[in-house]
């Protein structure tokens, strides 16, 4: 099973690029860019990759953004993740980041957009990897900042796959951003939102009813609301679940306690992703293996979720067929 998962063709839909910065990379960039960090060694820094909740995690995540000082740095971080994709046979990946953090540091919006777009162009050429960039509004900065972000991003909309909502969830429901996401839809851009990660099921309803999401990031709290589960099963609205993220941020005590098997059994459109693989010490393969080895999810369940990820991606139809054929062929030959 482990080998089957390692070699299986994969699609990743929920991965924050700065969350793929290993402590070693962060350390090297800090030194290269003369940015002073409070840790005295890589080991000390690595030891600080421990969190009790999402807010604590976001603080550490922000350190990664502070050591990035050029488009080339961010491009390099992204290319390092793409090399991991090659190792793990991730053939299509849709990546989260944000422009706001870097705009606040004094860089123009194209800093992030060009770095990630350039990395995707090269990943396609060198490795055949497809996908795109999904900037998120930083929800705890509020809707006025989100509005400004949107105005800054719209001139580059051809380089944007979707716009999302990330960072501190509790206290910042999607409803606060209703008018801004209406403009995102008007611009023909897909909408995603972290919802029901730490905050209750209401936030998932709000993502559906107030900002009309095309996909939900996490959504694990839906199980607390029967009507919501019914709605999600009927509509097959995708939920991008990140098992080791949920364990690291103390939503579940242990991977064996994860409710993904129940979600799958209920017929929800769930798939597995890594969220912040360096911080949570698990890339996509390790997340899938974690679920396969520690829960009741069967090999069929693993294949079903790999198909769900393809179906739920924002790839065009011909690419989806290609990805599905590649997966089906692999399953037949295995
Ligand atoms: N930013 C990076 N990882 C995140 C997560 N798991 N939830 C919300 N915002 C994030
Ligand atoms: Zn996330």
Q: What percent of the chain has pLDDT over 70?
A: 100
Q: How far is the CA of 164 from the centre of ligand 2 (A)?
A: 10
- Output the pLDDT for position 187: 98
Closest approach atom of ligand 1 to CA 197: 7
| Token pair of 35 as six digits | 């940015």
Nearest 5°: the CA angle 317, 311, 86 is 90
- Output the pLDDT for position 14: 98
CATH number (domain holding residue 139): 3.20.20.140
Q: Mean pLDDT over residues 66-94, rounded? A: 98
Cα 191 from chain centroid?
Answer: 13
Buried/exposed code over 116-155 (b: 16+ C-beta within 10 A; e: otherwise): bbbbbeebeeeeebbbbbbbbbbbebebebbebbbebbee
Cα–Cα dist 65/251, whole Å: 25
Lowest-confidence pick of 56-65, 205-214, 309-318, 322-331: 56-65
Q: Whose CA is nearest to atom 2 of ligand 1?
A: 16
Q: How far is the CA of 181 from the centre of ligand 1 (A)?
A: 19
DSSP helix/strand/coil, 278: coil
Instruction: Check if the beta carbon of residue 319 is closer than 8 Å to that of residue 11.
Output: no
Closest approach atom of ligand 1 to CA 276: 3
Average predicted confidence (pLDDT) for the chain? 97
- Output the pLDDT for position 291: 98
Q: Mean pLDDT over residues 56-62, rounded? A: 92
CA distance readout (Å), 319 to 62, 102, 217, 310: 34, 32, 22, 9
Instruction: Check if the beta carbon of residue 82 is closer than 8 Å to that of residue 1.
Output: no
Q: Mean pLDDT over residues 243-253, rounded? A: 96
- Output the pLDDT for position 40: 94
pLDDT digits (tens, 9 = 90+) for 93-110: 999 999 999 999 999 999
Nearest 5°: the CA angle 86, 284, 259 is 165
Instruction: Check if the beta carbon of residue 243 is closer than 8 Å to that of residue 280.
Output: no
pLDDT digits (tens, 9 = 90+) for 257-316: 999 999 999 999 999 999 999 999 999 999 999 999 999 999 999 999 999 999 999 999
Q: How far is the CA of 329 from the centre of ligand 2 (A)?
A: 31
Question: Domain residues for 132?
Answer: 2-333
CB within 5 A of ion ligand 2: which residues? 275
Q: How far is the CA of 58 from the centre of ligand 2 (A)?
A: 10
- Output the pLDDT for position 317: 98
Q: Whose CA is nearest to atom 6 of ligand 1?
A: 275
Q: Whose CA is nearest to atom 8 of ligand 1?
A: 167
Which helix (H) or strand (E) segment is 272 a member of?
Answer: strand 270-272
- Output the pLDDT for position 235: 98
Q: Which ligand is nearest to the CA of 12?
A: 2
Phi, psi dihedrals of residue 194, rounded to the nearest 5°: -65, 125
Point out the catalytic residue in the list 197, 226, 234, 300.
197
- Output the pLDDT for position 194: 98
Cα–Cα dist 13/19, whole Å: 14
pLDDT digits (tens, 9 = 90+) for 145-184: 999 999 999 999 999 999 999 999 999 999 999 999 999 9
Q: What pLDDT band is residue 123 in, cutting at 50, 70 and 90?
A: very high
Instruction: Check if the beta carbon of residue 5 is closer than 8 Å to that of residue 285.
Output: yes
Rounded-to-10 torsion of CA 54, 282, 159, 305: -100
Buried/exposed code over 271-306 (b: 16+ C-beta within 10 A; e: otherwise): bbbbbbbbbbebbbbbbbbbbbeebebeeebbbbbb
- Output the pLDDT for position 333: 97
Q: How far is the CA of 241 from the centre of ligand 1 (A)?
A: 12
Q: Mean pLDDT over residues 317-333, rounded? A: 98
- Output the pLDDT for position 287: 98
Closest approach atom of ligand 1 to CA 61: 2
Pocket lined around ligand 1, Cβ cut-off 6 Å = 16, 19, 54, 61, 166-167, 194, 197, 245, 275-276
Q: Which of 94, 89, 124, 104 is nearest to 8 (CA)?
A: 89
- Output the pLDDT for position 131: 98
| C-alpha atoms less than 13 angstroms from C-alpha of 315 in its C-beta half-sphere | 24
- Output the pLDDT for position 22: 96
Phi, psi dihedrals of residue 195, rounded to the nearest 5°: -155, 135
Q: In what order do the strands lie in the sheet with 270-272?
A: 10-16, 90-97, 130-138, 162-166, 190-195, 215-218, 239-241, 270-272
Count the domains in the chain: 1
Judge whether 197 counts as a catalytic residue. yes
């Amino acid at each position: 099973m482990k080998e089957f998962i390692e070699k299986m063709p994969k699609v990743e839909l929920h991965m924050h690029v700065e969350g793929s910065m290993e402590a070693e990379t962060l350390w090297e960039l800090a030194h290269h860019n003369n940015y002073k960090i409070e840790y005295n060694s890589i080991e000390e820094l690595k030891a600080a990759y421990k969190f009790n909740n999402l807010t604590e995690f976001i603080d550490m995540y922000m350190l990664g953004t502070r050591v990035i000082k050029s488009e080339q740095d961010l491009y390099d971080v992204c290319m390092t993740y793409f090399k991991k994709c090659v190792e793990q046979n991730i053939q299509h990946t849709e990546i989260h980041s944000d422009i706001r953090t870097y705009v606040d540091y004094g860089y123009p919006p194209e800093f992030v957009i060009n770095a990630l777009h350039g990395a995707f162009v090269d990943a396609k050429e060198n490795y055949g990897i497809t996908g795109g960039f999904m900037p998120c509004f930083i929800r705890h900065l509020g809707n006025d900042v989100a509005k400004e972000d949107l105005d800054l991003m719209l001139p580059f909309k051809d380089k944007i796959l979707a716009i999302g909502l990330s960072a501190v969830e509790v206290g910042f429901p999607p409803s606060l951003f209703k008018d801004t996401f209406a403009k995102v839809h008007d611009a023909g851009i897909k909408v995603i939102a972290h919802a029901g990660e730490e905050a209750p099921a209401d936030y998932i309803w709000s993502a559906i009813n107030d900002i009309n999401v095309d996909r939900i990031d996490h959504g694990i709290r839906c199980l607390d609301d029967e009507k919501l589960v019914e709605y999600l099963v009927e509509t097959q609205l995708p939920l991008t679940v990140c098992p080791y993220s949920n364990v690291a941020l103390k939503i579940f005590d242990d991977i064996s306690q994860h409710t993904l098997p129940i979600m799958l059994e209920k017929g929800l459109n769930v798939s597995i992703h890594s969220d912040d693989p360096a911080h949570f010490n698990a890339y996509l393969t390790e997340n899938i293996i974690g679920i396969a080895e520690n829960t009741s999810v069967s090999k069929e369940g693993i294949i079903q979720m790999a198909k769900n990820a393809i179906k739920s991606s924002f790839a065009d139809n011909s690419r989806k067929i290609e990805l599905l054929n590649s997966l089906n062929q692999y399953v037949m030959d295995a």
